Chains A and B, each alone.
Chain A
Amino acid sequence: MDSAVEKLPILFLCILLYIIVLAIPSVRKNGLRSKLSPLIPIGAFLFFLLGFDGNKQTAVLWSHDLLPTQLSFTIDGLGRLFALLITGIGSLIFIYANGYMKGAKYTQRLQSFLLLFMLAMLGVVLSDDLIMLFIFWELTSVSSFFLIGFKNEDEASRKSALQAISITGLGGLVMLGGFIILGEIAGTYAISEMHNPETIATITSHAWFTPMLIFILLGAFTKSAQFPFHFWLPGAMKAPTPVSAYLHSATMVKAGVYLLARFSPILGDTPVWTIALISFGGVTMIYAAFQALFRTDMKSILAYTTVSALGIMVFLLGMQSSDAIAAVSLFILVHALYKAAFFMLAGTIDHETGTRDISKLSGLKTAMMPLFVIGILAAWSNGGVPPSVGFLGKDLIYESTLAYPGLNYLLTGVSVGTNIMLFAAGLLVGWMPFRGKKISHKNLQLPAPSLWVPAAVLAVLGMLFGLFPSLINDSLINPVANSISGQPEDIHLKLWHGLNTVLYLSLLTMGLGFLTYLVIRPGAGMLGFIESAERFGPRRILHGISHGFIGLSDWITKILQNGKLRIYLLVILGFLVLILGYVVLAETTFTIDIDMLTNITIYEVIIVGILFISVFLTLFSGSRLAAVAAMGVVGYTLCIIFVFYSAPDLAMTQFTIDTLTVILFVLVLYRLPRFIRLDFSPRHILDGLVAIAVGALMTIISLEVLQRMPEREISDYYALNAYVLAKGKNVVNVILVDFRGADTMIEIVVLSIAAIGVYSLLKLRLRKNEKME
C-alpha cells in the first residue's frame, strides 16, 4: 500500500492530459470528449477510495540541495476525505454539467476549467510542501476566476470573477508571507516534519509567531469567505450552477477550512488561534445565516448559508476540544453532501423554469416529484433532523459548545441561533418552491436523469450515513479527527444519546426553525434592508480603495501628462537644475586659475560680442526673418571661433551647414505663420529664470571642468598612429573615416533616413481631410 502515494503524479498527469484534450476546441456541441469527462473524476475517486486507508503516507518525489522546498505529497485522513469529496462530488458535478450544459456553447471549455480546478484542489489538499501548497492554492484562485467569469459576455460575471480573484489572490499572497516565516522558523517547508513537539514549541514560542499566524489566517479567511471578506462568495453565484455547486459545496471555499485543519495540530494550541477563529467564525456564522434568511434568489440563499457553514467550521476549529474536532470532521462531509445537492436542485429548477426566485415558484411538486424528495432530504440533513447525518453533526456542535469553559452559554446561544436560521433557510430552498396547489409554471416535465440523479445520490447518502454511522465512523471521520488533533482520537457516532441537554437544544432548534420558516416571507422590502447592511464594510472599503487609486492616477496623469510641451520641459529642466545644481554647488571650488587659460585678443571679444547681440536678436525679435538671420549669424560667429582655436575642419563644416540651414528656413518660412505676439506675462519670468539657471549651471560646470587636468590618452593614441597606421595627416578626418569609420557609416545612414523622412513627409499624398486648405 505504501506506494499508492507515489502514483499520485501519474494521476495528476492523466488529469492534465485530459484538460488539454478538452481544451482543444471541438466543432460539435457536447461531443464525445465532454461526454466522457466524468470518467476522470470517477477514476480518481476510486483511486482515493481503494488506494488509501486513512493512514498517513508521505512521498518526496523530487528535491534539490539548493532549494529549501521540495516536490512532495502526503496523504492522511484529512487529505483523503478532501480528495474523496473533491473527486466524488466532482464526478457527480461532471455528470450534472453534461446535462445542464446540453446544447450550450463552450461545454468543453467549462469542463476543461473544472478539471483544472479539480487538479489544483487535489494539489492543495495533498501537498506536503508549503510552497507547493501555495502554488496550488493560487491555481485554485486562477482557475476559479475563469469558472466564475465563465459567462464572459456578462459584465456582472466579469466583475464578480475579478472580485473573487482579488480577494482570494491577495489573501494567498499574504499567506505566502506567513508560509515563508513559518518555513524559516521551523527550518523546514515540509508540513509533515513540523509535527514533532520540539518543532511546535519552537514555532509557537518564536517572536514572529503572531504575525505569521495572522498572515496564514488571512489567507484562510479570505478563501473561506469569513466575515468581513465574505462578500466575494455571494458574488461568485454569477457562475453557471454546476460551478457554484462544485466550488461552494466541497472545494474552493473549503480550502481555507482545510488549511486551518491542516495547521491545527501545529499552530492550534495558542490563544491567538483560539480567539481569532472563534470570534471570526462566530460572527460569520450568525451574520451570514441572518443574511440568508431574507433572500429570494435560491442561489443567493445557498451562498449565504455556505458562508454561515464555513463560519461554523472555523468556529469549531477554534475550540480545539475533542468534541469540536469530531464535529468539524463530520460537518465537512455533511455540508458537502447536502449543499451540493441543494445547488444542483436550484440549478435544475432554474434550468427548467427559467427562474430561481422562490417568491415566484410554487407547486413544482406535481411535475417534479424526485426533485421534491431531494429537496426534503437535503433540508432534512441541513436542519439536523434525525435520523439524518446532519443530526449527528449538530449534536456534536452543541456538545462542544456546551463543554467550552467560561463562554459556554454565549457560544451555545450563537450556535443555536445560527442553526435555527439555517434550518429555516434550508426549508426555503428545499420545500418552498414545491409546496402549494397553484402551479407557477405550466408544461413542466421531469428533467433528464443527469439533472437530478447526481443530487439524489448525495441526498440519499446523507440519510444513509445518518442511519448507519458505522459506515463512515472508522473509515472516514476518525482518521480526519486524528489529523486535525494530531493525536489518536476515539469517535463514536451514534444517533441516540439519551434525553440530555443536547437533545433538548436540537428539538428547540427544529421547533424555532420551523416557526421562523412560517413567519418569514422573503420579499423586496427585507431584501433591500439586508442588502444595505452588505453595502458597508470591507466591500465598500475595497471599492473605495480601487476607486481612489483610479482617481489618484487620473489626477496624476492630468497633472503630469497634460499634453503641454512647456510643462514637460519645465519639469525635466527644473529637476535637472535642482539635482545638478545641488551637486555642483556642493563640489565646486569657484577658483579659477588664470594661468591655465589662453589670453584674450580684441578680435575675439568683438566676435563674442556679435554672438551675444545675435542671440538677443534671436530671442526678442518679433520678425521671423530677423530671428532666422540672427540665428545664422550665431552660427557664423561660432565658425570664426573654430577658426581661431585650431579647428579648420569644424569651421568649414559649420559654415556650410549654417548656410544650408538658413536657406532651408527661408524656403519654408513664408509658408509658416507669424510669431504669436503675446504680451509679457509671468510665464516669461518663470521660463526666463529656468533658462538662466540652466545656462548658469552649464557655465559653472564648464569652468569647473577646465580646472582639472584633461585626459588625452585616446587622443594621443590617435595622433601617434594617424600616419603610422592610417596614412593620414589630418587626424580629425582619419578618426572619421578610419578609426571610427563604422560610426561614420551609421551617421550617413541616419542622414539618409532624415532625407527620406523629409521626402516622404512632403511628397506623400495628403489624406482627404488634410486637403481642405
Chain B
Amino acid sequence: MNTIILKTASKYLLPLLLLFSIFVLLRGHYLPGGGFVGGLIAAIAFVLHAFANGLPHTQRLMRIHPGFLMPFGLAISAVSGMFPMLLNQPFMTGVWKKDPVPVIGSLGSALFFDIGVYLVVIGASLTILFTISETR
C-alpha cells in the first residue's frame, strides 16, 4: 500500500479529515453527526495515514499514545456531567450559556460531554487498531 499517490494524498487528507471530524462533532447537536461519528472519522483519518506512511510515522506525528485520550475524554465527560451539580442541579442536567456563540451555536455542558465522547472514541479505536498492527 506504500504508493506515492496514497502517501501524498494522506498528507493532505489527514488534516482535512480531522477538520471534518471536528465539524461533524460540533454540528451534531443540530444536524446529523456528533461525538461518536466524529471520533470514528478522526480514527479513520489516522488509520489511513498509518497505512500510507507506516505506523511509526503516524505515532511520531501523534506524539502521545492514543490510549491516553481515553482517560482524558472520560474525565471531560465526567466533569461536564458533574458541573451542574455545582449549581445545585442533578447530575447531567444541561447547562447553557445564555448567548449563542458564533459557528458553534449554543455553548453548553452537553457539548463538552460530546467532546469527551469524541476523544474516548478516537482513543479506544486507535488503541485497538494500532495495537493490532504493532503485534504481528
A residues neighboring B (CB under 8 Å): 648-649, 652-653, 656-657, 659-660, 663-664, 667-668, 671, 725-730, 732-734, 736-738, 741-742, 744-745, 748-749, 751-752, 754-756, 758-759, 762-763
Contact = CB atoms under 8 A, between A and B. Distances in A.
A751 to B, nearest CB: 5
Contact of B106 (A656, A668, A727, A752): A727
Interface in B32-50: 32-37, 40-41, 43-44, 47
Given A725-B94, A744-B117, A748-B116, A759 B131 contact: yes
Of B24, B31, B47, B124, most buried by chain A (CB within 10 Å of CB) is B124
B contacts with A: majority SS: helix
Contacts of B71: 752
Contacts of B92: 738, 741-742, 745
Interface string B109-136: 0100110110011011101110111111
A668 B128 CA distance: 11
Contacts of A745: 77-78, 81, 92, 113
Contacts of A749: 74
A744 B28 CA distance: 15
A728 B127 contact: no
A749 B121 CA distance: 10
A648 B24 CA distance: 12
A664 B43 CA distance: 12
B22 interface: no
A733 B28 contact: yes
Contacts of B116: 748
Nearest to B107: A727
A657 B128 CA distance: 13
Contacts of B30: 728-730
A254 B135 CA distance: 75
B108 interface: yes
A649 B127 CA distance: 24
A337 B94 CA distance: 87
Given A652-B33, A667-B132, A751 B40 contact: no
B55 to A, nearest CB: 11
Given A649-B34, A745-B77, A748-B121, 10 more contacts: A656-B37, A659-B44, A726-B94, A727-B94, A729-B31, A730-B30, A732-B34, A738-B94, A744-B113, A759-B67
B96 A742 contact: no
12 contacts: A656-B43, A726-B94, A732-B34, A733-B114, A738-B94, A741-B92, A744-B77, A748-B74, A752-B120, A755-B124, A756-B127, A759-B127
A768 B88 CA distance: 56
B70 interface: yes
B16 to A, nearest CB: 16
Contact of A741 (B31, B110, B124, B131): B110
A751 B124 contact: yes
Contact of B113 (A649, A656, A659, A741): A741
Nearest to B36: A653
A730 B29 contact: yes
B90 to A, nearest CB: 10
